[in-house]
Structure 1
């Protein structure tokens, strides 16, 4: 893999350090006046008049085969109890550790929940909590924790898994046996998307692939423009009809024909919050969502855009980022921002209709240990956010009002899946929890 780190001249570094130390040695005057926080308190803010919101009827779905339940990442309105309780919990393997993270979301297909832990182990769990099988995908000679990440997709009897070892595999959903294994050119941190006989995969070294779903053969390979640093996780490609939307680590968004890899259009998502160092990283973290003819995508530095699906033309830009897919609903778009706020946006122009704060730090006095938030999803007529601080939170979609929470033992590690009126979420300590 190419080294994407910047190289500096020692002399320039020494001069910069000397200037910085000199500046720090001067006592900064304390100005009079009242101190106010940079960001508002974590409370709901909404204008007096909000546009009407029609919540789609909740579906009792059976499968949730991709991230957010569809190849478009367009999460449906699904059924869930008004007061869900923990039904069962089972271990699925390795969780977070010093040099590895559990970042892969579960999927549900054919009466089983499939998970990928931080050690490259796939587990199939029946919807009653009984483990059916477990398979290690670590290549011979590799340390399991070195290949964390990747993801799972299931569709039409196919179960495809990508791993941090830089491989894509098709497994037998019943036994876990490997049907094919394809070596790629870089680490894979995101789940694939399956459609029209192709598995579309993004690798971390700015490469995209189309694999034959029957054989695993590489049908096409795309290289993004330039090089860039990425986050621990990664965004998955989205697919609607013949077109896949590919999110590259440099902030490039490219629409391609899924069967051939032929480029339809290219757009760029750059920029972020000026007061944050991380805004110089252009990695896309808010997975692309295709809502009919609009594509929503966000980065981790504080930028989100709406693009025309046919042309790639930018429709609007918002100075808010995202670590999860956006949720379009009836003329509104809901998103958990990079600044730990749940937002309702006007889908027509991206303006913020309300914002509700979420806890941002486990140690707020030192701004240490950021709390991850996954969602939102629309279940039982409410917005659902699963958080790393151990809470499954519920909110009113119309106003952003807090509707309560239940405990997630171990804290959420990835986006939940919902099927058959049950919410499944993996925790940071390597367990799968079912809420009903």
Structure 2
């Protein structure tokens, strides 16, 4: 199952009819490319290729940006630091020189290091200035999502259901929290988030959990998705999207579940709405933007949960998580298109073909203007909106 894209699996599950035999599975039809009258056309400042990218594997390798650099990697262990102004390679490290490395969780820039998780159940720290390996630690399972780094602690959510904390300087284990996982789950795990000494993450059993960052003591659990239906596939309830913290609220969404707003102090649900997704979402001001399991793009009032608009024109195009860049909402698709939407209306404002290999991760904004787009075949593009 390693070569099955998680989004493709989620789409298949969402529309499958498994009442008797495999022949009864409905076909999935990707929506045709919508016609868009561009109000702007993003231009490319520079391009660079990093190894073989992630190809068709499940590896959500969103680049890390900071210190005037763009940190990128391919699934096979090649990590590079690029000058964000011109794409020049500042350093590179092939982590697969001695042993096989399959990068799947990362990259995170923090405390002068780049932190990476792998399908080999390793967490690796590199010096951000030189690329040299600082430490490598074995953890309880595959690391399929980005590590969290906060207050000298690295926290990873593993595929075995174990949340593990490591010392950011040495890689030594500090604590673990074990949770049972269902027999069948989607491929992927929720990235943890932290605030005010607490860490929060989603579980494949449909729950959201909070714990004290320093010692791993559990604070609370909250059910996001409840198993329903008669088959294991119908009863998938993974909370794989990373929670989002905004103000005193924590937002989370589950597959076959709900979108919820939770009071951080009490862990109680303030509101919930019926949306299903296993894809990361974004909160921008008072608006929350998500991509559903059917690849419908939805805007919700973050204060009340009221739906503001919904765009269904990209159904089943295997969309990346959304991002807000230069005041627009943007997502990539499996055919390598970037789709730009007006955040207030949900109408398309621009469409750009980047690379036919597809876009699996959202564009990442740079501090000094522009944004980075990464394609499945490892093409790195520094772009900016030209109106």
TM-score interval for Structure 1 and Structure 2 normalised by the shorter chain: 0.7 to 0.9
Residue 374 (1) aligns with residue 320 (2): yes
Q: Cα offset for 1:344?
A: 1.1
Instruction: Provide the C-alpha distance between the structure 2 equivalents of 1:379 and 1:319, rounded to a whole number of angstroms.
Output: 27
- How many angstroms does 1:389 deviate by? 2.0
Counterparts of 1:282-431 in structure 2, within 5 Å, are: 282-361=237-316, 371-409=317-355, 410-419=357-366, 420-431=368-379
User: Contact 2:189/2:239 (CA < 8 Å) preserved in 1?
Assistant: yes
**Number of residue pairs matched?**
354
Q: Would the alpha carbon gap of residues 275 and 135 (structure 1) be closer, same or farther in structure 2, given more than 3 Å must change?
A: farther
Relative to 1, partners in 2 of residues 1:388 and 1:258: Cα closer, same or farther, differing over 3 Å?
A: same
Question: Could you state the TM-score of these two structures normalised by the residue count of structure 1?
Answer: 0.74
Q: CA deviation at 1:215?
A: 1.2
CA contact 2:148–2:192 (8 Å) conserved in 1: yes
Match of 2:81 among 124, 127, 138: 124
**2:81–2:89 CA contact under 8 A, matched in 1:** yes
Is residue 207 of structure 1 aligned with residue 162 of structure 2?
yes
Instruction: Sort the Cα spacing of 1:222 and 1:138 in 2 relative to 1 into closer, same or farther, 3 A.
Output: farther
**2:129 aligned counterpart, secondary structure:** coil
Partner deviation per Cα, 1:276-335 (whole Å, 9 max, x = no partner):
975422222221101121111112335322222122212222221234332223433211
Q: Is the 8 A contact 1:153 1:191 kept in 2?
A: yes
Equivalent residue of 2:293, what SS? coil
Report runs of 4+ in structure 1 exceeding 4 Å deviation: 40-43, 272-279
Aligned equivalents of 1:428, 1:169: Cα separation in 2:
22
Q: Whole-Å Cα distance in 1 between the matches of residues 103 and 171 of structure 2?
A: 21
Greater Rg by CA: 1
- How far apart are the structure 1 equivalents of 2:278 and 2:105? 16
Provide the C-alpha distance between the structure 1 equivalents of 2:179 and 2:171, rounded to a whole number of angstroms.
Answer: 22
Q: Match for residue 433 of structure 1?
A: 381
User: Residues 210-250 of structure 1: CA distance to partner in whole angstroms, max 9, x if unpaired?
Assistant: 11111111111111244453333332111112111122222
Match of 1:367 in 2: none
Cα separation, partners in 2 of 1:139 and 1:267, compared to 1, 3 Å: farther
Specify which of 201, 207, 210 is matched with residue 252 of structure 1.
Answer: 207
- Distance in 1, matches of 2:159 and 2:97, equals 19
Q: Kindly state the Cα deviation for residue 138 of structure 1 after the two structures are TM-superposed.
A: 3.8
Q: CA RMSD in A?
A: 2.9
8 A Cα contact 1:106 1:114, kept in partner = yes
Moved more, 297-306 or 410-419: 297-306
Q: More relative contact order in 1 or in 2 (CA 8 Å, sep 6+)? A: 1
What are the residue-to-residue correspondences of 1:27-46 with 2, within 5 Å? none
Q: Tell me the CA shift for residue 170 of structure 1.
A: 1.1
User: Of 126, 129, 135, which aligns to 1:174?
Assistant: 129
Structure 1 Cα separation of the partners of residues 247 and 230 of structure 2: 35
Per-residue displacement from partner, 1:64-121 (whole Å, max 9, x unpaired)? xxxxxxxxxxxxxxxxx954212222111123446x3342111102111112312132
Q: Which residue in the other structure is 1:32 paired with? A: none
| C-alpha distance in structure 1 between counterparts of 2:99 and 2:342, whole Å | 50
1:95 aligns with 2:43: no
Distance in 2 (alpha carbons) for counterparts of 1:174 and 1:103: 23
